[in-house]
Amino acid sequence: MTTVINNLCIIGTGLIGGSFSLALQRAAACKKIIGAGRSEKTLQQARQLKIIDDYNTDISAAVKDADVIFVSVPLGAMRTVFEKIATGLKQAGNEQAIITDAGSSKQQVQLLAQTIFAQAGKYFVAGHPIAGTENSGPAAAFADLYKNRRVILTPVKNTDKEAIRQVTELWQVTGAEVETMSAEHHDKVLAATSHLPHLIAFGLVHCLENLDDIEDIFRFAAGGFRDVTRIASSDPTMWRDICLNNRQPILAMMKSYKDEMEMLYNALQSADGEKLMEVFEHAKQTRDKFTH
Ligand code: NAD
């Protein structure tokens, strides 16, 4: 693999940023990778794990010579981080550096980029890898995270074409398949496929917590319980931020789900086995069709 870029700066060297870096290093796609973030301890750990070559706790200084800046911090930290990047790039006269992110919701991030970065965010390419685990931090990062997974980019009319091409190429190097769609469509689709399931998992475990026999519930937890609740071990800060950033699409999905639960509740209350069969059969057919 020939080098795609010289200097990459990763802000937030946790699961997502760390895995991006490891995958690019494996392909020898970048000459130098600098990390930046809030916690020096995390950055030191990232350097120890060879996720980054070096780090700088000052984000504005870290981006000075970057060709590409990859932002993988929780959504609630994006505004502050974007402002520090913009300051650093302006001071260094490097405002044509390409900036991209991995945030799990896209409309709010896109809006921030348009208001904070030079030329209404012309060199910002919003992105979201549809890959992850319930673990976080540098130690959770691994080079294969994006292999055969999808990455969604949500560029706008103003986005620089060469920036889109470079970000696409970097993701392809990690083994991912890149798709493009509007930020609005992304947020609606992800509310249904990722954000609602996380709320269900968090809500289910939380609801069981209040039962008297909680010890036995977890002791005898079978595969089904583990499958449905695995993602309730995800990082609470990250998920609070995702929910707050994608409120309306998530609320719409929660309403549909609430109605569905109520319908199932009524069917069971009236011992309507036919209705239950109808719903379960439909659900099974739909899942089998889309997952096989
Ligand atoms: P993580 O906790 O593993 O890593 C986040 C990193 O950001 C850490 O290094 C942390 O030190 C740093 N950070 C936190 N607050 C900061 C701040 N205020 N300023 C600077 N740095 C800060 O999280 P992650 O799973 O890598 O997620 C990062 C981003 O990727 C989030 O926006 C998330 O929505 C998105 N994402 C996560 C997943 C997933 O499954 N984990 C999947 C796709 C996208």
pTM of the model: 0.93
User: Is 60 exceeded by the pLDDT of residue 7?
Assistant: yes
CA of 172 to the centre of ligand 1 (A): 21
275 burial class (0-12, 13-18, 19+ CB within 10 angstroms)? Answer: middle
Task: Report domain 185-291's class.
Answer: mainly alpha
Domain boundaries, the chain: 5-181, 185-291
Q: What angle do CA 99, 122, 36 make, to 5 degrees?
A: 15
pLDDT at 69: 98
> What digits encode the pLDDT tens for the residues 242-263?
999 999 999 999 999 999 999 9
CA of 212 to the centre of ligand 1 (A): 35
Residues whose CB falls within 8 Å of the CB of residue 124, separated by 6 or more in sequence, listed in order: 98, 99, 100, 101, 113, 114, 117, 159, 163
pLDDT at 1: 55
Return phi, psi of residue 200, to 5°. Answer: -65, -45
Instruction: Judge if the beta carbon of residue 72 lies within 6 A of ligand 1.
Output: yes
226 burial class (0-12, 13-18, 19+ CB within 10 angstroms)? Answer: exposed
> What digits encode the pLDDT tens for the residues 62-106?
999 999 999 999 999 999 999 999 999 999 999 999 999 999 999
Instruction: Judge if the beta carbon of residue 15 lies within 6 A of ligand 1.
Output: yes
CATH number, span 5-181? 3.40.50.720
CA of 200 to the centre of ligand 1 (A): 22
DSSP E strands: which ranges in 50-208?
54-56, 68-71, 98-101, 124-125, 127-130, 150-153, 177-180
Nearest CA to ligand 1 atom 33: 103
CA-nearest of 120, 141, 161, 183 to 33 is: 141
User: Is 80 exceeded by the pLDDT of residue 222?
Assistant: no
> What digits encode the pLDDT tens for the residues 109-162?
999 999 999 999 999 999 999 998 889 999 999 999 999 999 999 999 999 999
> What digits encode the pLDDT tens for the residues 163-214?
999 999 999 999 999 999 999 999 999 999 999 999 999 999 999 888 888 8
Question: Six-digit token pair at 284?
Answer: 């099974």
Q: CA–CA separation, 98 vs 91, rounded Å?
A: 16
Q: CA–CA separation, 143 vs 13, rounded Å?
A: 13
Reduce the DSSP state of residue 18 to 3 states and report it.
helix
